[in-house]
């Protein structure tokens, strides 16, 4: 009768512990050790991050001390000329915060990194000094669209500026190469992609000649965060720019970005060999922008109807941008919106330059209410009266989201930024970014922003950019502050263990689970073989279920598992690094959810 027992009866009435019981005890102790190891790993990460931040802060002290010098004066030899050209050439009567400081320092041959929000007026900081100088300013930019937009504006002001990239017409290339070394040329700005600089020996040779002739005045590097591997848009060809200080000693560099935490600023300074340079940083708060996150409906037609309703009612007669993930999506959404009688254009990298210019002109003049543009291509458009930006899909990072939404309200008037969020879109993007050094980390931060159901949107943005804004700074200019939701804390630990059971069951059948199949199996749908009888079907809506999976993903309880196929990259879901903690029945995973 004791054959299946864990204990063995001994003559004196005592029981001896069997091997089975000892194995169970060892397993229990191993789980406890695993939990302790995970806690120590988490603590180690916190300490390493803190140590790096302290090091970065020490390196930045020199930069910020330079900023204490009074650059905000009109007592420089160029001040009169600067003011005259501001009014006569650019038709602007006053400068925005930090513009004068940046220009005075740049004209004083200081190296500078300027961190200023989208719409803050970064481009004027190198355009105006270029106009009052006799030599050439080289502007390095990663976006052809941005360069085209700036050239369009400069040509209207009758400023001689040109652009070099792989598709530049031969005549333009010839004119620029000659202009670089012609003392009589009135060419003031040359816009160039980093890839062109890295690959064109002819251009670099002419640049050296211009330097020897003292015709090379300064370098402006737009989107300078692309230099850093820690940046959200790292571009390998930006590494080439590290030779500028060696090749052109004494020529000042102005690095410009809308988004750069301390870690990236330090990394960029090292890469460009301008350690300890002047760093000027404006606040990230755009008080005129209203931030809103909406659930993206899974039904394509209903999602389109929601956007149509916004454009025909809330944004009737107003100009805007709608961001999509892929070229195919942008073309499809344009067609769908036109099918509802809306005047919209499409703007992406595969369009012919002539067609792209036509779309741009129709949007600028108001013939098109909105442009549908790909996130990957970006839209470097300085249109002041953009009243709305709609993200049809989430961005790849908080930095991207901030910059893209920042295209709205450049004239300072109230504008709206709506992000349409759906968990499955995250997995579309994760296969695109997981090979980047911080790609997934950045993507999960924007996922966390979407999943937060209670915090002020502004405070979340501020925290990400190492600033502190209070709820009063928002002034009800986000969906949460405008209408506070009833919230409650929920322990999602039990649901995590249910999902582990589904994952374990699939593994026994040698199957991998896509995110969709995992959630389907949890809700007792999809393939019968993937369902687990002992796992109860959730009583809450699928929206909540997806939010729970999102929380488990960003907190390390679940993990994406990427695999290459012949035609694409696939993502599956497996237990995350914190699974050892979660498997303990007493382990709680507390998240804030809306009260349903």
Among candidates 84, 82, 117, 127, which has minimal Cα distance to 100? Answer: 82
Query: What is the DSSP code string of 34-92?
Result: HHHHHHHHHHHHHHHHHHHHHHHHHHHHHHHHHTTS----S-STTHHHHHHHHHHTT--
61, 62, 68, 122: the catalytic one is 122
Q: 3-class secondary structure for 6-42?
A: CEEECCCCCEEECHHHHHHHHHHHHHHHHHHHHHHHH
**Most distant CA atoms of the chain, gap in Å:** 112
Alpha helices in 138-214 (DSSP H): 144-156, 170-180, 194-199, 201-212
Instruction: Name the β-bridge partners of 113.
Output: 255, 279
Does the annotation mark 214 as catalytic?
Answer: no
Cβ distance 393 to 324 under 8 Å?
Answer: yes
CA–CA separation, 447 and 459 (whole Å): 16
Kindly report the number of other CB atoms within 10 A of residue 564's CB atom. 9
Q: What is the four-CA torsion angle of 442, 445, 449, 451, rounded to 10 degrees?
A: 120
- Give the Cα separation of 148 and 146 in Å (integer): 5
Spatial neighbors of 33 by CB under 8 A, at least 6 apart, are none
User: What DSSP assignment string belongs to 278-323?
Assistant: EEEE-----TTEEEEEEEPPSSHHHHHHHHHHIIIIITTT-EEEEE
Catalytic residues: 122
């Amino acid at each position: 009768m004791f054959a299946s027992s864990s204990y063995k009866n001994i003559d004196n009435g005592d029981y001896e512990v069997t091997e089975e019981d000892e194995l169970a005890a060892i397993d229990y102790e191993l789980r406890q050790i695993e939990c302790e190891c995970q806690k120590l790993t988490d603590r180690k990460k916190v300490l390493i991050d803190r140590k790096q931040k302290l090091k970065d802060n020490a390196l930045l002290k020199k930069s910020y001390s330079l900023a204490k010098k009074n650059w905000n004066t009109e007592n420089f030899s160029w001040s009169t000329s600067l003011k005259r050209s501001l009014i006569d050439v650019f038709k602007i009567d006053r400068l925005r915060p930090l513009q004068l400081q940046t220009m005075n320092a740049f004209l004083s041959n200081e190296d500078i990194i300027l961190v200023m929000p989208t719409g803050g007026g970064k481009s004027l900081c190198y355009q105006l000094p270029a106009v009052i100088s006799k030599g050439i300013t080289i502007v390095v930019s990663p976006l052809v669209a941005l360069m085209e937009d700036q050239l369009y504006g400069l040509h209207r002001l009758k400023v001689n500026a040109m652009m070099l990239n792989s598709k530049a017409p031969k005549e333009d290339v010839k004119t620029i190469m000659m202009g670089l070394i012609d003392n009589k040329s009135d060419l003031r700005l040359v816009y160039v992609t980093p890839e062109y600089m890295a690959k064109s020996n002819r251009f670099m040779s002419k640049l050296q000649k211009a330097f020897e002739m003292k015709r090379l005045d300064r370098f402006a590097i737009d989107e300078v965060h692309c230099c850093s591997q820690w940046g959200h848009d790292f571009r390998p060809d930006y590494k080439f720019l590290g030779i500028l200080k060696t090749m052109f000693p004494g020529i000042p560099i102005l690095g410009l970005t809308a988004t750069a935490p301390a870690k990236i600023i330090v990394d960029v300074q090292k890469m460009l060999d301008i350690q300890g340079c002047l760093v000027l940083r404006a606040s990230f708060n755009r008080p005129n922008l209203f931030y809103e996150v909406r659930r993206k409906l899974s039904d394509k037609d209903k999602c389109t109807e929601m956007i149509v309703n916004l454009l025909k009612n809330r944004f009737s007669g107003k100009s805007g941008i709608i961001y999509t993930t892929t070229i195919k999506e942008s073309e499809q959404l344009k067609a769908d919106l036109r099918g509802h009688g809306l005047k919209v254009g499409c703007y992406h990298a595969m369009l012919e330059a002539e067609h792209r210019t036509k779309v741009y002109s129709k949007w600028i003049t108001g013939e098109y209410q909105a442009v549908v543009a790909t996130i990957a291509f970006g839209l470097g458009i300085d249109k002041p009266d953009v009243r709305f930006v709609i993200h049809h899909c989430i961005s790849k990072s908080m930095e991207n989201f901030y910059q893209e939404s920042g295209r709205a309200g450049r004239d300072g008037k109230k504008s709206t930024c709506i992000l349409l969020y759906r968990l499955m879109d995250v997995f579309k993007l994760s296969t695109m970014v997981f090979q980047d050094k911080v790609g997934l980390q950045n993507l999960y931060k924007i996922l966390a922003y979407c999943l937060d159901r209670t915090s002020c949107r502004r405070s979340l943005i501020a925290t990400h950019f190492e600033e502190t804004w209070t709820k009063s700074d928002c002034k009800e200019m986000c969906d949460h502050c405008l209408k506070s939701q009833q919230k409650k804390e929920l322990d999602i630990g039990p649901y995590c263990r249910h999902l582990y059971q589904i994952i374990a069951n699939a593994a026994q059948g040698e199957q991998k689970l896509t995110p969709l199949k995992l959630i389907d199996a949890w809700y007792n749908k999809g393939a019968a073989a993937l369902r687990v009888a002992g796992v109860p079907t959730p009583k809450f809506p699928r929206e909540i279920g997806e939010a729970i999976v999102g929380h488990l993903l960003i907190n390390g309880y679940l993990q994406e598992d990427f695999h290459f196929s012949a035609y694409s990259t696939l993502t599956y879901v497996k237990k995350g690094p914190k699974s050892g903690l979660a498997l303990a029945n007493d382990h709680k995973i507390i998240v804030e959810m809306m009260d349903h």
